[in-house]
Amino acid sequence: MSLPLNSNLGATELPPVMEARRWIQGKSFPANRPLINVSQAAPLEIPPLELRQAIADAALNDPDAHLYGPVLGMTALREEIAAQFSRAYSGTIAPDRVAITQGCNQAFCATLAALAGPGDEVILPTPWYFNHKMWLDMSGVTTCVLDTGASLIPDPAAAAALIGPKTRAIVLVTPNNPGGVEYPSATLRAFFDLARAHGIALVIDETYRDFDSRHSPQTGGRPHDLFEDPAWGETVIQLYSFSKAYRMTGHRVGAIVASAALLTEIEKVLDTIAICPNQLGQTGALWGMRNLGSWVEGERQEILKRRAAMVEGFTALPDWVLMGCGAYFAWVEHPFDLASDDLCRRLVDDCAILMLPGTFFTPEGSEAGRRQIRIAFANIDCDGIAEMFRRLQDFRP
């Protein structure tokens, strides 16, 4: 006799990355042709030594690092985010408008839990980040699919047609996961105006902002100007992650920038789930923000080099279509008479390459999903990218 289950959870898909990992279980790859794993967006290197030393010092010498902390996070870290983001976006963000979370996934889940409940609707561009769709499904929130077409850039006019009385939010990810594209500032401004006009939230996941080609402390570039509006908090919710820029995936530190009133509601969710964010992870994040600005810029430049290598590599695969490329990701259309999930399994066996099929990022039955693939190229260096293209050139289905 099986236990009764939450029907929403039972209808939610299994974690796609874990599904892909099962494709390589029990398989061995020769030393002269090791597996190229471009399935998950996670830096493989560990944080810089100095950041690890800061965490170790806190673990040994700071008693507070082992106790409960504030639900919304360490005051000093909230202040640092507020100050740095205010400068980066030429806006005004107060510390009480910042919350620290156990990674950006928790930031998203807590935010959407505060905004939408069963029967409500949220607009999600496709291809989507699968964990966003999974959370909406398990929460009983209806996903209104906003197709981004060949450009991978969502259209505000198309989104406007999806807004109804149950719509609670529009979710955007830029630079995009899985598409890699950087949304133009004008696009974000148009969505801001649309959301404001309808009194709904605009949730912008900027997990990969540190790798945006436009974002640089040296040039003063910024991806959007929404925080310049004194009333941004009535509409905008920004999500951020320390996992990628500081290589802190295992420490689970993310952030929410929103109105103080909304954070009061989000605090209820966070207190119920985790009580407080990881204290040692917050210590590392704070030390990183204060000391690693130039180092993070170096990381950005390395990712931009890998991006250029990806663009160049596809010139040798004329039958493939590179639809989007940026931050950690390339989104491509393959030329074969195979569904993308079947193709990705074949690439494991024939090429020792693990990628994620477009079916993981699109609605069930999507024809586009059958033709498209995500490549998380930030996981491999330029030499690894070159080897990946050599193997793809030799592939015959």
User: Does residue 144 carry a pLDDT above 90?
Assistant: yes
Amino acid at 366: S
* SS3 at position 162: coil
State residue 234 phi and psi, 5-degree precision. -75, -15
The encoded tokens of residue 87 equal: 């400068």
Q: Where are the alpha helices (DSSP H) in the chain?
A: 7-10, 16-22, 49-61, 75-89, 103-115, 130-138, 156-160, 185-198, 260-273, 279-291, 293-313, 340-351, 367-371, 382-394
User: Does residue 4 carry a pLDDT above 90?
Assistant: no
60's CB contacts (< 8 A; 6+ apart) are: none
Share of the chain above pLDDT 70, in %: 98
pLDDT at 45: 87
> What's the mean pLDDT when you consider all of the chain?
94
Between CA 82 and CA 90 the distance in angstroms is 11
Domain with CATH 3.90.1150.10 in the chain: 7-46+295-394
Which CATH code for domain 49-292? Answer: 3.40.640.10
| Residue 320: its H or E element | none
Share of the chain above pLDDT 90, in %: 87
Per-residue pLDDT tens over the stretch 228-240:
999 999 999 999 9
Q: What's the rounded mean pLDDT across residues 82-92?
A: 93
pLDDT at 41: 82
Q: What's the rounded mean pLDDT across residues 168-185?
A: 97
The band of 5, judged by pLDDT with boundaries at 50, 70 and 90, is confident
The band of 10, judged by pLDDT with boundaries at 50, 70 and 90, is confident
Under CATH, which architecture does the 7-46+295-394 domain have? Alpha-Beta Complex (3.90)
Domain with CATH 3.40.640.10 in the chain: 49-292
Amino acid at 325: C
Taking phi first (over 0 means left), then psi (-120 to 50 degrees means alpha), and beta for anything else, what does residue 142 get? beta
Between CA 174 and CA 188 the distance in angstroms is 9
